[in-house]
Amino acid sequence: MTNYNISFYPYDALVERLVYATNNHAKKIVFLLGAPVSSKRNNNPGVADVDGVVELIRSEFINNQNSLKLLNDELALSGSKSYQVAMNFLLARRGQDVVNNLIRRAVWEPATITIQKSNKLKIQTISMIC
> Once rounded to an integer, what is the mean pLDDT over residues 33-44?
68
Q: What would you report as the CA-atom Rg of the chain, rounded to the nearest whole angstrom?
A: 21
- Entry pTM: 0.59
pLDDT given at position 21: 84
More confident residue, 44 or 105: 105
pLDDT given at position 52: 87
Distance (Å, whole) CA 51 – CA 6 = 36
Closest to 86 in 3D by CA, of 73, 101, 104: 73
Distance (Å, whole) CA 112 – CA 122 = 8
Q: Where are the domains of the chain?
A: 50-125
The amino acid at residue 93 is R
- Across 28-37, 81-90, 100-109, the highest mean pLDDT is recorded for 81-90
pLDDT given at position 110: 58
pLDDT in tens, 62-81: 999 999 999 999 999 999 99
